[in-house]
Amino acid sequence: MELLKIITRSTGGDDYIDNAVNYLFDERCVLRQGYGVSPYYPESATTAIKQTTEFWGNQNKNQIIHAILSFSQETAPTPDVAMRKTAEIMEPITKDHLSISGCHSEERAGSLYHTHTVSSTTNINDGTMIHVNNSTIYELAQRVADVTNQPAMLVVENDKKEEWECPKKFLPQSDDEE
């Protein structure tokens, strides 16, 4: 079963953005990808996210969404496959939101690779925001199941670092089932 974990913080401000992006590139990072930002300069990515949210007046709101995707060994036997799956799953967000992804090599719970994607909640084109609510995260969890063709589970971590596991298991759907 594949896992999507969403970390959302309405507090923490600039420090939280810096910490989230820097965490992607710790010693476990084997691949990285930027969407509208350089994946090789974390400081420039955080600066771009902060400037975009400030430009659109969203700096005092939840500025980022942090998605962690943990893949089974069958789904992502290599870091390249993990990053390709991540790119496809996150595409509805990364197409209009500054984002940065990193793949960690770490064996745990049947997974060899997991990815982190930190995305600005502010749309770079019009300033609208992704609201990190059930609708948004359920759609992402369903994409995990559809892209991997495997069942997916969803975990959400809040400001207090409390985790909630969604009781619903997301199952792959064909296009005609949607």
Token pair belonging to 156: 């959400």
Q: Is the per-residue pLDDT at 175 higher than 90?
A: no
Per-residue pLDDT tens digits for 22-62? 888 889 999 999 999 999 999 999 999 999 999 999 988 88
Structure tokens at 71: 């893949």
Residues 33, 85: contact at Cβ < 8 Å? no
- pLDDT above 90 covers what percent of the chain? 74
- Which residues lie across from 23 on neighbouring strands? none
pLDDT of residue 16: 85
Q: Are 165 and 16 in contact (CB under 8 A)?
A: no
* Distance from C-alpha of 26 to C-alpha of 153, rounded to nearest angstrom: 26
Q: Please count the helices (runs of H) and the strands (runs of E) in the chain.
A: 4, 7
The Cα diameter of the chain in Å comes to 44
Query: Are the beta carbons of 170 and 153 closer than 8 angstroms?
Result: yes
Query: What are the tens digits of pLDDT across the range 67-112?
Result: 999 999 999 999 999 999 999 999 999 999 999 999 999 887 788 9
Class (C level, CATH) for 2-167: alpha beta
Residues 111-135: pLDDT tens digits? 899 999 999 999 999 999 998 899 9
CA 55 – CA 45 distance, rounded (Å): 15
pTM value surpassing 0.85? yes
Tokens of 6: 């969403």
